Amino acid sequence: MQTLLSHINSYHSLNDEAQKAVENCFEQHVFSKNEYLLTEGKICRHLFFLEKGAIRGYYTLDGKEITYWFGFENDFVTSFHSFITQQPSVENIQFLEGSIVWAISKERLTRLFNEHHEIERLVRIAYEKYYIRLEERFVGAQFKSAAERYENLIRQSPHIIERVSLGHIASYLGISQETLSRIRSRL
């Protein structure tokens, strides 16, 4: 829990009362490798904070798994689309390692927003950061070559490369595993 609170405070520091409220709303869960946090078709009713471990979001296209995000220590994770709209998810969320997460339900989060303006502010600021990150990734996907995307990943997120298999990284970058292997051999 301390990890969650200190991460939150790094975004926007909360007063004691709000911190207490946060503590009361998140529940800890432990998962082992390959377990699922969410599967396709289910509605995602929680927001999660990953205290320890690694996780990926993927969906299935033409029988292949397309991993399109990873989460690690100190990341908030959820199926954004499903959590926000409360529609069935198109994605699966699966642990890549044994992990510890803290969960809060959508109802409780909404209540927190009503009771603590500060917490809604925190989330608004978090959205800004996440939006900018996604924008950068979008520009990369649309306008950069496969090799450039891989080099960017090495530069910006070396931890991903160390902890995740090549096949997952390839689909994360939007390229085939074979092409990624060739790119690596050329470096």
Sites of contact with a second copy (CB under 8 A): 61, 66, 68, 80-81, 84-85, 113, 117, 120-121, 123-124, 127-128, 130-132, 134-135, 137-139, 141-143, 174
Counting contacts by CB under 7 A, is residue 34 touching DNA? no
Q: Give me the phi and psi of 76, to 5 degrees please.
A: -85, 135
The tokens describing 2, both together, are: 């301390």
Interacting partner of 178 out of a second copy, DNA, none (Cβ under 5 to 8 A depending on kind) = DNA
Region of 50 on the Ramachandran plot (φ > 0 left; ψ -120 to 50 alpha; else beta) = beta
Judged by beta carbon distances under 5 to 8 A according to partner kind, the member of a second copy, DNA, none in contact with residue 138 is: a second copy
Residues pairing with 59 in the sheet:
66
What Cα–Cα distance (Å) separates residue 8 from each residue in 2, 114, 116, 171, 181? 10, 18, 14, 30, 38
Residue closer to DNA, measured from CB, 10 or 185: 185
The reply to whether 60 sits near DNA by the rule CB under 7 A is no
Contacts with DNA by CB under 7 A lie at 145-147, 165-167, 174-182, 184-185
